[in-house]
Chains A and B, each alone.
Chain A
């Protein structure tokens, strides 16, 4: 350390490291969107004195420096590797479980906003007393796959929250669809009902749920067969945590295994597009392959199928429904799908204008307990 030139070398090393990153960011093109993080990235902010004095320019500039950092994904991997080496089991709320499972912590409901949602649901049902309503609240991997969690991790008791919620909804006159035991049984037998790297259920999980839901909704469950369409899916949990686990996920579709299947026509309101295809195979080449199920989140779309049934179904849902909806098309003349996180129009008006005869709410517990958009959508504006 005391020998001559030692610190010179250290200084040069420092300069080279900093300069390398500065040059890389100077000569690489700014990105506008991060696939891994699934969000828009900050662009170079415009400068004005007033923006500077308010501190807004500085904030944007800092986000810009972070967002456009060269080799962001690589650095995230380095960080995760270091964490795991040091015994880390969790990153950004995601646990590194056994058998390559990444499992998100269970969301605890906020008592107040949950009661508000429960009341909004009961009031909504009361306003449309002649319409049958169903609530399918799906459990998440943190509950069903809890045996895959690291031994020292205990997540909150999702079952207790769900039980309580089901009770309250039933009291309001809405039928509940509880798929927990079906999913648990399948999982115990080794069937993969949740993705290892993504927070969604697999299509198998959705199919099991459909088998359970159909009788409750007065339908005869139909038979579908499984077809694997991708074997290299790395989902949101992998991105969120930065954990690199050994196993990629497979995505499968469930195709009708019976005669007389009728093609549906889907109309997306936000993009004003009409299509007959549920699945977007192009998205399998993208980062978020789950978007093979109808693309990213749409505020509202309509599915029309020339079947004999005259029922018109409204589905109020989150992304768990995306791989579930195709199972229902053959039993409803029209299905209107609404995601209240993005749909801000009056749902009562929609009920009337579309002549809705049945309503299905389909959510996963984590989204549902952590979000009050459903209450907002159902409450009547005074």
Chain B
């Protein structure tokens, strides 16, 4: 089920909340039970088969963690059990997400032409597998105790707000709240406000930007122009940010409505002054996962320079691969790896000496180019798109279509640019301090408008489903 659907907002959510809050707070176990049941329904909605895979994953990791602890208790290291759990998790992920890609690659290299049927990707598998692994590894490291109650662990893994698209919540961050958390109308209100603004980002901004981008990529060659393609990729740049960060906002908000506090996932990435900074602000739960469970175990930066460079390349190609089972995603990740190495070892200091606007421009151009490779899975086509952007495609600078897109989308693009900076939220906070009622009216307005677009639109694809 998607958050941005009428079935979720006006059926699933109210029913879940009413049952959840009908149970007195002191029976937290019962509330957790409601939440677990709701999460399983949420996950199974539309494609029920894979709910069993998730339950299986829950069993696997639940018992593995207990076993690791038992070994350690008996004087062992628990390493083998950890290794087993990690391999099994990667195997599940590999089989369901990368099987087709692997077969294609093997067939391409060997020419063996092995026939296979690609599997449907289980929703959220990249997210919950990573969560499960963080749990077992943390138990192995002793950062957190194993969860004795299976249902509580299953709740952690399947918790519907963060199930489909993150943030990738580490077990240790919510372990306490699973057993003991407080509920208040204040928290509920803050959560619902966060949810509504996330919904607005997704429906009002991201969906319309997505429609703009796809109408531009669908243009026949004769109507393409340089400026139009820049508008197109700019639309995609904003779309992917509002889509994904909007979904994270909704997840964080929903969690808060039920007493959970998830980590932040985005911190205005598009105001960054370097790529290094960009990755400290973009999809933070994923980059911190890779840092903690891959980069640092590889030695991090406390190694020789060549080894450090190798570490960075490994981490970033894996980050790319996590985003999708295709070469273009590996390229996209490696591209960032290389740029981070360059910033670290080659020109980072020089960038810092540039005026602020120069640093922003540098960062955004690199980020925008990266989205070309991200959005267009065929690398040849991506290069064609880039060529046109940089005047090498033999297309005019602008044409009547450019004018049309400017005329119809300038407001949308402008609003998107503004909402990518902290300015809008600051202004909103000022308004809330001075005229609280008006600021709540703004929230209501965003909600009504989102619902209006939702009701109108059949166009509601969700980008991060692929991962």
Contact = CB atoms under 8 A, between A and B. Distances in A.
Specify whether A and B are partners.
Answer: yes
Interface of A: 1-3, 6-15, 17-19, 21-22, 25, 52-53, 55, 58-59, 61-62, 65-66, 69, 72, 75-76, 78-80, 82, 85-90, 150, 152-154, 242
Given A61-B7, A89-B407, A8 B456 contact: no
Contact of B433 (A3, A8, A9, A11): A3
Given A7-B190, A55-B48, A87-B411, A18 B9 contact: yes
Contacts of B432: 1, 6
B409 interface: yes
Interface in B175-198: 185-193, 195-196
Most A CB within 10 A of own CB, among B10, B195, B437:
B10
A61 B14 CA distance: 16
A154 B400 contact: yes
Contacts of A52: 48
Contacts of A62: 5-7
A75 B433 contact: no
B10 A22 contact: yes
B277 to A, nearest CB: 27
A300 B281 CA distance: 65
B440 interface: yes
Nearest to B428: A1
Contact of B436 (A9, A14, A69, A76): A9
Contacts of B436: 1, 3, 6, 9
Interface-central residue, A7, A22, A76, A87, by most chain B CB under 10 Å: A7
A21 B408 contact: no
B403 interface: yes
A15 B444 CA distance: 11
Contacts, number: 137
A10 B411 contact: no
Interface residues of B, number: 52
What 9 A-B pairs have minimum CB-CB distances, sorted nearest first? Answer: A11-B189, A7-B189, A14-B192, A152-B404, A1-B432, A78-B452, A79-B452, A86-B411, A10-B189
A153 B443 contact: no
B408 A90 contact: yes
Given A14-B193, A69-B6, A19 B14 contact: yes
Contacts of B48: 52-53, 55
B451 interface: yes
Interface in B416-452: 429, 432-433, 436-437, 439-440, 443-444, 447-449, 451-452
Given A76-B452, A152-B400, A152-B404, A18 B186 contact: no
B404 A242 contact: no
A153 B11 CA distance: 41
B455 A13 contact: no
Contacts of A87: 407-412
A72 B451 CA distance: 10
A22 B400 contact: no
Nearest to B399: A154
A79 B415 CA distance: 17
